[in-house]
Every structure is written in structure tokens, then in C-alpha cells.
Structure 1
Amino acid sequence: MTSVITRATVGDRVRAGALLLGAVLQVVAGGLGGSGAFGLSVGVVARENTTVVMPVPAAFSIWGLVYAGLLVLAVRQVLPGQPQRAVHRATGWWLVASAVFNAGWILAFSAQAVVLAQVIIVSLLVVLAVSLARLTALPAEGAGDRLMLHGPVALYAGWVSVATVVGAATTGTFLGAPGDGGVATVLGALVLLVTGAIASGVVARTAGAVPYAASVVWALGAIVVMGPPLAVTVAALVAMLAVVGVAARRVLSAPPGRRVAAAFG
């Protein structure tokens, strides 16, 4: 059954325009935060509050892919026949909120308002989780949805899932907790194991299982490459294997003709 409704309402067009504006806002905020044009760069603030679960700096290049995916999504949903679709009505304003929260997180973190930034990134994770859940309830209608809707949102949600955990550790260091040492290592390892378990559960049930898994594995792998203590390394590797295993099982257990749908739909 198609989700296209005959006419787009004024509200549909306003929502579509707001999402396109938000997608552009993310790119601008990301440029400001990455360059240090506003306050300190995000990388500098992170290095000043380093922890045992800090990813290697190159890992943050995934933001470019995330921004590109959301921009493609936003452009597509303003095209004729798209604004009035049920899937955009179900997810559009949540994705607008994600763009606002992401821009706010960048600006807050660059201004060294680390606690506020953590509150914002938790809010970002919540709205992305709602968006992904709503996409899961409305299966993709073809390759366009899989590549330009489910894929970008799932990739974004997976990265933010781990970034929220890393941010929590950074916030703790900012507030005076030790960033390394025995206690930090044990807590870091436990948190990564829990993160892997939760991410595996999401991969087993959600739309965009493979993009979500890919960004989680990217983030966890970047923590390993950074060279943390052995316990943290082992925990990250175990979490990665769990996520990859669940994603592979979900795709390979589907009939051959349905494997792309299982991966992205």
C-alpha cells in the first residue's frame, strides 16, 4: 500500500522546508565547530577532557557522511509527491528537532559548556531513536526510501548512540572525574559492553540495520585504534563482534531476494 496522499498541505510544506533548513544549519554549525570559528574547535575541547573511551580523531570524519545523508534526505522530501507521504509526516518534525539539537550541541561544546552539550546530545539521541522507531513501523517503499531515508537516519542514530557514551565520559572528566586509571578503565569497559548489547538489540529489530551497525562499529573501532587500556580494547572488540554478528545473522537469515530489504528496510 502506498503512503502517498493526493495533496500536500501547507503544514506538509512548512515541515519539509524546515527540515531542509535544518539540514543546511547542521552543515554550517559543523563547519563552525570543526574550525574553531566559534569558541574552541570540538576537537580541542575533547582533547582537553580526554578519557579511556575517546575515539581516534579521524573517526569524526563520519559527520561529513551523516550531514550529506541528511541533506539528501531533506532535498528529496521537498520534491513533488514527497511532503505529503505518511512516512515524512511521521518523522519530519523529529528530524527537524535532530538538526536543531545537533547544531546546539556543536555550539555548546565549542563554547566549553560541556554539561549543557551532554544534555543536548542525549536529547538528540532520543529524537533519533523516535525517528528510527517510526521508520521501522513504516517499511521502506523501494530503493529510494532505503538509501535516502532509512539509511541516513540509521547511520546518524548509530553514530550518536556511541557519541553519547563518549560524551558522558568527557563530561565526567570535565566535572573532575579521572579520565584514566583503574576505575575509569573498569567503568569504560563496562559501558562499552552495555553499549554493544543495546546496539545489538537495536540492529536485530530496527529499520536500517546495516547502516546503524556500520556506524556503531566505526565508532567502537576508532576507540580501539586510539589505544586504550587492554580491558577497554577487549570490551570494544567484543561489542563490535556482537553488533556485526547480529547484523550478519539478520541479513543472511532473510530470503535472497529480501536481503537488501533486511539490511536497509
Structure 2
Amino acid sequence: MSGKPLGRSLAVLLAVVAAIAIPALQATQNFGMTAQEFSSQGDQTLRAAGYAFSIWGLIYLGMAAYAVYQLTAAPESPTLRAVAWPSVVAIAGCGAWLLASAFNQQWLSVAIILVSAGAMISGLMRARAAETPAFRDKLLIVWPLSLLAGWLTIASAINILTVLTAQGVIGPDLTWAVIGIAVVLTFGGFVGWRLRSPVYLAPIAWGLIGVYVAEQADKPIAAWLAAGAALGLVAEALATLRKGR
């Protein structure tokens, strides 16, 4: 713990414990709406196939590894200083979002996911400006948090469209689906370029493929646009890898 604020390290650990414990408690205690029930109220505009959400297993594993590493690593690196507090906000937001959705607080869920995504992206931007991290910091800090940030990026867009549809602000038509995909491609591609991070881009592409699978029957144009956007982000990720080498 030398050179690191104990309170901050414990805050990261508690945020991770809460983020993992809340879905487990909801599954075993059956309180409130499930995430699927919450989303089904407005997923007629744009949705991802259920299998896409299996990425949370990998995200939770990365969170746990990050929590342990940041608690025990010494000395503290500039990368950890840059991302620690933003990661507390983002990871705590994962659990808070589940509580908001469980009690059908639709606009609160939008606020939580946007703050979480913004905090994690800004933290990663600061980390990139601070230093070129050692491989161990990449593996146990930057990559797990980049995976989370990428998934929160596409999840934010789908969440916003879901709530707008459920509230009757927009109709479940193709135009809004296309706008959502375009925003994800543009914003995700820009952030991925700034971060030079294939790991950030990977979950966005994964989610877009999930959109393609889910929307093939009802919105084939949106489905193919999502597939094209996913391929574009994969191409960006591969170009970033080649440039890094």
C-alpha cells in the first residue's frame, strides 16, 4: 500500500464488490424488474441479442483482477492515479444502474450510464496522457477498464433509445435505429482513435454484431448497418494494432 491513498484503494474494491454482488443478489432474491424486463418496455427501436450481454462475465473478471491489483501493487503508477477515482464512479454505476432498472427508474438509468461511461472514458484519456504504461498495468488496469468503457459506450446508446421509446418520446421506427448506430460508430470510433485502444473498440463491435443478430427480421437495414459499423470498428482496431507494433 506504500504511496497510495488507502481510502481510494478501498473505494475501488467496494465498488467492484457492489457491482458484482448486486446482480447476484437480484438473481437469488428476485427483487424488482430484471434488466431484460426493464429493456423490453422500449426495445422496439433498437436491441441487441441476449447472448451479447454474456460479455459481462469477462468484464466482471477484469474488474476483480483490477481491484486486487490496484490494492496490492506498489509503487503506484501514474496510470493508476489517473483512472482510480473515475473507475470508482463507473464501476459503482454498474451496480446503481441495475438498482435503477429494478425499480423502473428509466431516466435515472440514463443519467447513471452516461455518467459512468463519461467518467471511465475521461479517466482513460487522462491515463494515456500521463504515461505509456508497463505491460502489467496494461493487462490489469487499462485493458479491463477499456473493456468496461467500450461496453458502456454502446449500452448508453441502446439505453437512451430504449427509454425514449418506452416514454413515447420517439417511435420504434428505422430512422432512430439508424441514428443510434451512427452515433455509436462515430463516437466509439473517435474515442477508440484517441485512446489507440483495440480493447475499447472490441466490446462496441461485439454489441453491434448483437444488434445485427437481433434486428435481422424486424429491421434488416438497421441490422446490416450495424454489421457494417462493427466491421469498420474491427478494421480500426486492427489498424491500431499494426500501428502499435
Taking structure 2 as the reference length, the TM-score comes to 0.92
What is the identity percentage for the equivalent residue pairs of Structure 1 and Structure 2? 24
Matched, 1:186 2:178: no
5+ long unaligned stretches in structure 1: 1-5, 260-265
CA contact (8 A) 2:202 2:237 kept: no
Matched, 1:101 2:101: no
Q: Evaluate the alpha carbon distance shift between residue 31 and residue 85 of structure 1 in structure 2; reply closer, same or farther with a 3 A threshold.
A: same
CA contact (8 A) 1:35 1:41 kept: no
The farther-off stretch of 157-166 and 29-38 is: 29-38
Match of 1:3 in 2: none
CA contact (8 A) 2:45 2:165 kept: no
Matched, 1:71 2:64: yes
| Matching of residues 96-175 of structure 1 within 5 Å | 96-175=88-167
| Cα deviation 1:196-239 (Å, max 9, x = unaligned) | 122112222205x1111110011000011112412211221221
User: What secondary structure is seen at the aligned counterpart in 2 of 1:130?
Assistant: helix
| Matching of residues 195-210 of structure 1 within 5 Å | 195-207=184-196, 209-210=197-198
User: What secondary structure is seen at the aligned counterpart in 1 of 2:141?
Assistant: helix
Match of 1:231 in 2: 221
Correspondent of 1:19 among 12, 18, 22: 12
Q: Give the Cα–Cα distance (whole angstroms) in 1 for the partners of residues 35 and 29 of structure 2.
A: 7
Q: Give the Cα–Cα distance (whole angstroms) in 2 for the partners of residues 210 and 137 of structure 1.
A: 17
Q: Evaluate the alpha carbon distance shift between residue 34 and residue 45 of structure 1 in structure 2; reply closer, same or farther with a 3 A threshold.
A: farther
Q: Give the Cα–Cα distance (whole angstroms) in 2 for the partners of residues 161 and 211 of structure 1.
A: 13
CA contact (8 A) 2:80 2:141 kept: no
Matched, 1:8 2:3: yes
Q: Give the Cα–Cα distance (whole angstroms) in 2 for the partners of residues 118 and 232 of structure 1.
A: 23
What amino acid sits opposite 2:187 in the alignment?
I
| Cα deviation 1:174-203 (Å, max 9, x = unaligned) | 2124553xxx21121122022112211222
User: What secondary structure is seen at the aligned counterpart in 1 of 2:227?
Assistant: helix
Q: Give the Cα–Cα distance (whole angstroms) in 1 for the partners of residues 120 and 12 of structure 2.
A: 14
What amino acid sits opposite 2:68 in the alignment?
V
Taking structure 1 as the reference length, the TM-score comes to 0.85
CA contact (8 A) 1:42 1:109 kept: yes
User: What secondary structure is seen at the aligned counterpart in 2 of 1:195?
Assistant: helix
- C-alpha deviation, 1:32, in angstroms: 3.5
Q: Give the Cα–Cα distance (whole angstroms) in 2 for the partners of residues 75 and 89 of structure 1.
A: 15
What amino acid sits opposite 2:159 in the alignment?
G
How many residues end up aligned between the 2 structures? Answer: 243
Q: Give the Cα–Cα distance (whole angstroms) in 2 for the partners of residues 235 and 21 of structure 1.
A: 40
Q: Evaluate the alpha carbon distance shift between residue 238 and residue 28 of structure 1 in structure 2; reply closer, same or farther with a 3 A threshold.
A: same
Question: How well do the aligned residues superpose, as a CA RMSD in angstroms?
Answer: 1.9
| Cα deviation 1:58-115 (Å, max 9, x = unaligned) | 1111112111101110100111414x33322222111111122221111001111111
Q: Give the Cα–Cα distance (whole angstroms) in 1 for the partners of residues 80 and 241 of structure 2.
A: 26
Q: Give the Cα–Cα distance (whole angstroms) in 2 for the partners of residues 35 and 231 of structure 1.
A: 39
Q: Evaluate the alpha carbon distance shift between residue 179 and residue 34 of structure 1 in structure 2; reply closer, same or farther with a 3 A threshold.
A: farther
Structure number with bigger Rg:
1
- C-alpha deviation, 1:121, in angstroms: 0.7
| Matching of residues 54-65 of structure 1 within 5 Å | 54-65=47-58
Q: Evaluate the alpha carbon distance shift between residue 57 and residue 36 of structure 1 in structure 2; reply closer, same or farther with a 3 A threshold.
A: farther
